[in-house]
Structure 1
Amino acid sequence: MAEPNARPEVWLGIDLGTQSVRVLAVDAAGATHGSGAGRLRSHRNGPRHEQDPEHWWSAVRTACRQALDGVPGASVRGVAVCATSGTILLADRTGRPLTPGLMYDDSRAVEEAPRAAEAGADLWERLGHRPQPSWALPKLLWLLGHHPRLPAGARLLHQADYIGARLTGGPVATDSSHALKTGYDLEHEAWPTALLEDLRIPAGLLPKAVRPGTALGAVCAEAAESTGIPEGTPLVAGMTDGCAAQISAGALEPGAWNSVLGTTLVLKGVTARRLRDPLGVVYSHRAPDGNWLPGGASSTGAGVLSRAFPGRNLATLDARAQRYEPSSLVTYPLASRGERFPFLAPEAEGFTLGARHRAPEADYHASLLQGVAFVERLCFDYLGLLGAPLDGPVTLTGGGARSRYWCQLRADVLARPLGLPDNAEAALGMAVLARAGTSTPLSTTARDMVRLRAVVEPRPERTRRLLESHLELVDALEERGWLPTAVARHARRRAHL
């Protein structure tokens, strides 16, 4: 790890979230020298979710000035931007917005998604994913249908592209990570020209795409005046916010995985080859070095706790739950109807095996914590069945990682050590990428800048007892017809190793 410096060089990471923009100024040893935030406002109406792109820029200006307050301008060496995946707008040739920003979860394109899926069936089969109404490509079709007379030179911008253009003073290439949900072919590293023609997307509407970490330009004088970022600072192509968080967790070499436990559970890892998933529940981004970043999102997660125990002190419940290992109940804890990973079952619903009405509430709470951990293990089972390497380090991030007991329980169920990063903010991931893009390889840079605050070791005697309940859940999911038999068999083999 690099040593701290009294007047170090710093790199800026800009993270455009849903409710705010976060900016961090970070040195080569991973120490934060400045941070800032700017609020964002949304407009929601049913399936529609929009933001004003000008507000993005205003929040970036505010957050950058806060982060750079007290940081010598000459020490800033680079900047990178991450944003929400699938957020787009249309702009004129000067970059002025022609439409609001359609956000990552805007799902108005319900008629356009099947059209995009049918037209690109062969492409989606090869790439292993399929456009959903919230993806950028269907939303682009919706925009074109409602804005048929675009001015000459109009173009699509992803959220990060818009900020990049404001920083440099002119159009910038998009990064392949943000472009994935717009239909970019990560395998061939090109826009699928034939598909775009079939969908009647005008030639020239889509930006040039490059790998993350590629130099896009430099901060212009006007942006320097607005943000405090020195003029001439290199701008490096970023990644989506999920990939940025993976960088900040240090999961960057084949076999490494980051498990993000928030309202739902998301696993993201690294493979040398793209995983081919017949169920379509795993899809991959691509890293700057050409490795693949597979991931999947389950419908289980910490959201089940606030729903089961609204307003309760979960730390107190955690302490009481430790007496129930394993719980007398086996719970499949879905945060919402339908499962997306490690199997696809839109009709799936949560359930509990055992006499829940007679169980103490701490026992039921324990079954929820354990149930999420069992699904997490099943996710790894499925990734292993697809051929993913699972022998690298695993880190835990997200709100669920704040519970030390839950982290211990997850280590016991997974039967492996789990690292807890000191700072898992997406803005840190972009600071790491900004430095890598201007100097050293990403994995090497991350080893210097990403710090672990703790490593949780598994307790083998607890693992044996907990896996009995895990296999009860596997049996129940298979019996309901949701979990494919091949996955269930693989899970049983791994549990008996």
Structure 2
Amino acid sequence: MADVGDGGVAWLGIDLGTQSVRVLVVTGDGTVLGGGSAPLTGRREGVRHEQDPGEWWEAVCTASRSALAGLPGVRIGGLAVCGTSGTVLLTDGAGRPVSPALMYDDGRAGQEAARVRAAGLSVQDTWALPKALWLIETYGRGQTYGRGQTYEQGQTYAPGRITHQPDLIVARLTGEVPPADSSHALKTGYDLEGKAWPYTVTAELGLPDGLLPDVVPPGTRLGEVCPTSAEATGIPAGTPVIAGMTDGCAAQIASGALRHGAWNSVLGTTLVLKGASSTPVRDPTGVVYNHRAPDGTWLPGGASSVGAGVLTAAFGRADPEAMDRRAAAFEPSGVVAYPLVSPGERFPFLAPDATALLLGEPAGDADLWAGLLQGVAFTERLCLDYLHHLGAPLDGPLTFTGGAARSTYWNQLRADILGRPARVPEQTEPALGMAVLAAYGTETPRHLHVADVAERMVRTRTVLEPRPGRTAAFAEPYARLIDELTARGWLPAPVAAHARARLDRDTAGS
């Protein structure tokens, strides 16, 4: 694999996040040559969360031009795009938006989700398939929506297809409506084992013929950057465009956690755990689901509604480093928190009616900050306990990525509560994972695994060891949280019993 010293080749990763688009230019040995970002805005009202998909393309253009500025001697070998899992919109036959984009946590499709489950598919309320049904019902007739788009009221527009977030950007890059990648298609009901849509079920649900896209594995070449998009983005015309994966899978690739038993914990606004397994991890409740890696191995995991977003909501513009220093005096905190960012929980249990909870009264802001940090780490531990309950392999290395991995204090606290070592890479961004996937999809012999490419391009910044005695110090508040979650009817009793039985152990699968 060439790096910039062997011909000036690099790969470009594009991450369509919740609050911004991020682009990285990365060489074959993991050197980041350039980066760029551009903000995104959205609309949140209660369970509603949507974005204007027209903003995505504008942000991609801005971020790409910034990332490529000053790199005239570098050839871009390929690119891949990731997006937020479960974000979906409707487009017409030319790939133009005819609806807003319902974001990954939009909760308006609860009734549609119940219909899907009644039809035999295991989905959560925020998954893309029920939201697509909601969109078809709501935007099946002419609407005025989308930057530069005008639709006549009263006139019927049959949407061309259900479209995932990266599909829209790939269409703009290549000038052609692409197939979806199987990673983003998972939450739209695509069967990764059977490699097919469940057409019998979707027909029962009333999905119009032809609304579902063709699907290809991640790492598949989708086309090339067209001249018009090259001018808009600064990405050279003819650059190969490779099918991507969801942001959680992209972060997992960026972590290098791709060998059997390895796990990546992505802590940003919310918490996502992704692991690697030679076989799927079965969960009849649908809390844990399985993506499939480009090389055919399995990536089980789940997404919680707990995360660092609660800190912003509770403390606004507080200095995180200063608050971390003050919080160190409260181990354990005087409060026990289950810090949901938004109502409803998806992992480590399914509870649509769950709300954030706080047991006890904090001694002050620093104690509350400490309680929230610890509450996220308790949730992380409960996720791993649940995975162990399901029989998932957990004996490989654990990696921390996501925006919260910038906090040295929180990283150590999490390692202490989990009772196991953790690695923190130099780069913790999903865009790096997409650069790795672009390299895999363009220049890697098929007998190699994506893990082989990731291990060349992912660099470890530090390795954390749990401090002696600290795991035991947090056992009592963790047990108290388990009891409260069980009493409220959210956490199933067998899962609670399994977690209590592991209080004096680490979370590495013993």
Pair 1:65-2:57 in alignment:
no
Gap change, CA 1:73 and 1:165, over 3 Å in 2: farther
Q: Distance in 2 between matches of 1:263 and 1:159?
A: 19
The residue that corresponds to 1:398 in the other structure is 402
- Identity within the alignment, %: 59
Pair 1:376-2:380 in alignment:
yes
Secondary structure, counterpart of 1:392 in structure 2: coil
Greater alpha carbon shift after TM alignment, 213-222 vs 417-426? 213-222
Q: Distance in 1 between matches of 2:242 and 2:501?
A: 45
Secondary structure, counterpart of 1:268 in structure 2: strand
Secondary structure, counterpart of 1:33 in structure 2: strand
State the Cα distance separating 1:150 from its structure 2 match: 6.2
- Cα displacement string for residues 420-447 of structure 1 (whole angstroms, at most 9, x for unaligned residues): 1211112111111000111233111111
Pair 1:147-2:151 in alignment:
no
Which residues of 2 match residues 168-317 of structure 1 at below 5 A? 168-309=174-315, 311-317=317-323
State the Cα distance separating 1:138 from its structure 2 match: 2.5
State the Cα distance separating 1:74 from its structure 2 match: 6.2
Secondary structure, counterpart of 2:61 in structure 1: helix
User: In structure 2, what residue type is equivalent to 1:23?
Assistant: V
Greater alpha carbon shift after TM alignment, 407-416 vs 69-78? 69-78
Q: Distance in 2 between matches of 1:409 and 1:48?
A: 33
- Cα displacement string for residues 110-137 of structure 1 (whole angstroms, at most 9, x for unaligned residues): 4433333322x1x32xxxxx142x4332
Secondary structure, counterpart of 1:420 in structure 2: strand
State the Cα distance separating 1:418 from its structure 2 match: 1.0
TM-score using structure 1 length: 0.88
Counterpart contact for 2:2–2:9, Cα < 8 Å: no
Gap change, CA 1:473 and 1:226, over 3 Å in 2: closer
Counterpart contact for 2:306–2:340, Cα < 8 Å: yes
Gap change, CA 1:225 and 1:351, over 3 Å in 2: closer
Greater alpha carbon shift after TM alignment, 256-265 vs 26-35? 256-265
Q: Distance in 2 between matches of 1:328 and 1:45?
A: 32
User: In structure 2, what residue type is equivalent to 1:433?
Assistant: L
- Paired residue for 1:409, among 406, 413, 423? 413
Counterpart contact for 2:405–2:428, Cα < 8 Å: no
User: In structure 2, what residue type is equivalent to 1:292?
Assistant: W
Gap change, CA 1:383 and 1:36, over 3 Å in 2: same
The residue that corresponds to 2:453 in the other structure is 445
The residue that corresponds to 2:12 in the other structure is 12
Secondary structure, counterpart of 1:277 in structure 2: coil
State the Cα distance separating 1:391 from its structure 2 match: 0.9
Counterpart contact for 2:265–2:398, Cα < 8 Å: yes
User: In structure 1, what residue type is equivalent to 2:419?
Assistant: A
Uncovered stretches (5+) of structure 1, i.e. residues with no partner: 125-129
Pair 1:95-2:103 in alignment:
no
- Paired residue for 2:424, among 409, 420, 427? 420
Counterpart contact for 1:176–1:184, Cα < 8 Å: yes
Q: Distance in 1 between matches of 2:52 and 2:481?
A: 45
Q: Distance in 2 between matches of 1:226 and 1:352?
A: 49
Q: Distance in 2 between matches of 1:235 and 1:422?
A: 26
Greater alpha carbon shift after TM alignment, 9-18 vs 398-407? 398-407
Secondary structure, counterpart of 2:502 in structure 1: helix
User: In structure 2, what residue type is equivalent to 1:233?
Assistant: T
The residue that corresponds to 2:147 in the other structure is none
Q: Distance in 2 between matches of 1:490 and 1:456?
A: 26
User: In structure 2, what residue type is equivalent to 1:24?
Assistant: L
The residue that corresponds to 2:78 in the other structure is 78
RMSD between superposed Cα atoms in Å: 2.9
Greater alpha carbon shift after TM alignment, 78-87 vs 61-70? 61-70
- Paired residue for 1:483, among 483, 487, 491? 491
Q: Distance in 2 between matches of 1:73 and 1:365?
A: 47
Q: Distance in 2 between matches of 1:28 and 1:449?
A: 6
- Cα displacement string for residues 82-134 of structure 1 (whole angstroms, at most 9, x for unaligned residues): 12223333334333444444443444444433333322x1x32xxxxx142x4
State the Cα distance separating 1:351 from its structure 2 match: 4.8
Counterpart contact for 2:3–2:27, Cα < 8 Å: no
Gap change, CA 1:452 and 1:200, over 3 Å in 2: same
User: In structure 2, what residue type is equivalent to 1:496?
Assistant: D
Q: Distance in 2 between matches of 1:314 and 1:21?
A: 23
- Paired residue for 2:165, among 139, 159, 170? 159
Which residues of 2 match residues 459-474 of structure 1 at below 5 A? 459-474=467-482
- Cα displacement string for residues 300-358 of structure 1 (whole angstroms, at most 9, x for unaligned residues): 3334444555554443343233334334554444445544322234454555556x37x
The residue that corresponds to 1:127 in the other structure is none
Greater alpha carbon shift after TM alignment, 38-47 vs 314-323? 38-47
State the Cα distance separating 1:415 from its structure 2 match: 1.4
Q: Distance in 2 between matches of 1:136 and 1:37?
A: 26
Greater alpha carbon shift after TM alignment, 250-259 vs 474-483? 474-483
State the Cα distance separating 1:9 from its structure 2 match: 0.8
Gap change, CA 1:495 and 1:104, over 3 Å in 2: closer
State the Cα distance separating 1:49 from its structure 2 match: 4.7
The residue that corresponds to 1:325 in the other structure is 331
Greater alpha carbon shift after TM alignment, 5-14 vs 167-176? 5-14
Secondary structure, counterpart of 1:216 in structure 2: strand
- Paired residue for 2:465, among 457, 470, 491? 457
Q: Distance in 2 between matches of 1:43 and 1:174?
A: 26
Greater alpha carbon shift after TM alignment, 139-148 vs 202-211? 139-148
Q: How many residues align?
A: 487
Greater alpha carbon shift after TM alignment, 102-111 vs 209-218? 102-111
Gap change, CA 1:496 and 1:106, over 3 Å in 2: closer
User: In structure 2, what residue type is equivalent to 1:144?
Assistant: I
- Cα displacement string for residues 451-492 of structure 1 (whole angstroms, at most 9, x for unaligned residues): 121111111222233224433433444444443332233223
Gap change, CA 1:150 and 1:175, over 3 Å in 2: farther
Q: Distance in 1 between matches of 2:473 and 2:265?
A: 23
